[in-house]
Structure 1
């Protein structure tokens, strides 16, 4: 069976909750259906949820409640070593399928960094530093990294990253220790130090996650991912998860994925998911950098013209803010210091598309009001809009 690019774009409108009729009111449901919201740029979490919300005015408060009161959402490192906001119900599967391996690699990297500054900074030294941080956090309850570091002299020691390079930097051990503790699931991020665009968080002791079998967890992640992002190629699964090709293939087999033909070659859907999507109303969306729709697949030609990649993605592969029309990336946008939301179409899709994008930009500008964005991953063309 063949699934066309047009059908895939219709699915984006519905399954990514971007068509107006597909929006939902629950931010936890939004994150759950997407498997997770990219959180490297904290503003992207809010803007990704806002674009999909049937109750956009309350998105900031709803995310705050879900993350820090109800605890139905959790910030954690998982796919591709990236920070995501994920449903708490999926945290154990993500930890077992992905974060455990990521954490081991990160620990080895930190130990190598420490060893370069002194032979005494070995695994035992790191373990003592972690224990000291945990004791302080248990006593304080919730604390910022600076508060924890101030209580533990060893955490105030420094390491030099990329010595001799133009981007050489000196950092405190405390930041590395807290990152490892979070990856291991021993601490979790609490409220940010500042507003919803802040990337500095407080920490607290995390409740233990349930045990999960890694293979079963990988199958569950692929099942959830295909339900939203399918059809997709095996390489898409491998890229998005950060797993080996063998692990991706095994998980696809475990969920009984059904082979289909895509424009770029073989692909997969869940059993029973071969039918075409019904009619979807035309829709426009202004999505933030690293949005799940932008970053959902390795192969992107079916939803973005190849010539747009160097304009909308940085050299590390991070997607900047994007303008969408009917399941296709057609431009970029930015917010100027004045508060004005400006945008540029890079593909002519007619007067109706232009009007819809203009209306969506006006809706976003009105919602942002006196809030100002500082985009962490601005695409080359986004910077041009701001100049």
Structure 2
């Protein structure tokens, strides 16, 4: 199962042509750890690239970063943004209602903030978060105590604003209608089918519970999507558990135009996964990823979300980077291993570290091996 997941995640076998193709393939890529999400995209490309190239795609609007699926940031392809928001945004808003009340953000305040943002960003303006805070203050809306963050998230979920190009290293916001090309509306059944099919095609084999966690949809809606997908999805029983994946030869989007590579074609590798990589965060049940020596627990499964080091798709340790602000200074990568690696595995680890260093455009020093 892990070999097949590695292939479907494009961590083994064929990579994808461009950053937006990676995001389209998955449907959405979790991205609150922005630099980590860039690396998540970079290591799934067919041709080695750099962080600067992925950033250029983001700044050009080929990737949009916003709140969707769950109450956290994701990268989404522009053409998928509106229908995914329409499908998942209302559930996030409902889940956020108690926090809105705690912060004193009643419906009229949220609606007023939307109008303020719309006026401030109109005409192609891109404002940073501090600039949006100033705009709210001038409109006599207090942005303190996380009120700004929740007003911005609310406006994202309502389909008003999304990420704009960066200004230096600061993020900006833009109006969706000015940043994202128009798209035809997608009805609910088509949206559920598309999202569920996209998930099982890119993440399978996976369970209904996994898909519900990732998508933010109720399990009943996931089952509805499976039924609507028909022959596009395939049921499997592994260790007496029901899993779903795309049927052989199924193509999720026109952009990918390729099947997930067969498991037999994958190359053995060590992967330095970023925090919240789709390979770990997209599953409610992460037990198959745990190292054999790790007791099964919720804590252990949660730990997989923090820069895991994976060998053949299974957890073998953690890694962290130290990056000097001097652009010519070496990148320091420290690994902490749960087992002693064989010589070939150590070489695979070195290759993985070198690939990450090349992505950042730095020389590298590896410690801990």
- Asked whether the 8 Å contact 2:189–2:225 carries over to 1, the reply is yes
Give ranges in structure 2 of 5+ residues lacking alignment.
251-260, 325-330
Q: Which residue is 2:112 aligned to?
A: 128
CA–CA separation in structure 1 for the residues paired with 2:213 and 2:295: 17
- Between 355-364 and 303-312, report the one with greater CA deviation: 303-312
* Residue of structure 2 in register with 1:382 after alignment: none
Q: SS of 1:191's equivalent?
A: coil
- d(CA) in 1 for partners of 2:197 and 2:301? 31
1:265 aligns with 2:265: no
Is the 2:50–2:360 Cα contact (8 Å) retained in structure 1?
Answer: no
CA contact (8 A) 1:93 1:218 kept: no
Q: Which residue of 1 aligns with 2:258?
A: none
CA distance in 2, matches of 1:175, 1:56: 35
How far 1:271 sits from its partner (Å)?
A: 3.4
How far, CA to CA, are the matches of 1:91 and 1:277 in structure 2? 31
CA distance in 2, matches of 1:92, 1:229: 22
1:10 aligns with 2:3: yes
How do 1:211-250 residues align onto structure 2 when only pairs under 5 Å count?
Answer: 211-250=185-224
In structure 1, runs of 5+ residues without a counterpart are 1-7, 116-120, 160-169, 373-384
Compared CA separation, residues 314 and 210, structure 1 to 2 (3 A): farther
Q: Measure, in 2, the Cα distance between the counterparts of 1:44 and 1:264.
A: 35
Q: TM-score, normalised by structure 1?
A: 0.78
Change (3 A) 1:333 1:264: farther
Residues 141-176 of structure 1 show CA distances to partners (whole Å, capped at 9, x for unaligned) of 1111222332342455155xxxxxxxxxx24x4433
Of stretches 275-284 and 31-40 in structure 1, the one that deviates more from structure 2 is 275-284
The structural deviation recorded for 1:140 is 6.9
| 1:70-85 paired onto structure 2 within 5 Å | 71-85=61-75
Matches within 5 A, 1:111-190: 111-115=100-104, 122-138=106-122, 141-152=125-136, 153-154=138-139, 156-158=141-143, 170-171=145-146, 173-190=147-164
Partner residue in 2 for 1:378: none
Aligned residues: 342
After TM superposition, the score normalised by the length of structure 2 is 0.81
TM-aligned CA distance change 1:52 to 1:300, over 3 Å: same
- Given candidates 350, 353, 357, the residue that maps to 1:361 is 353
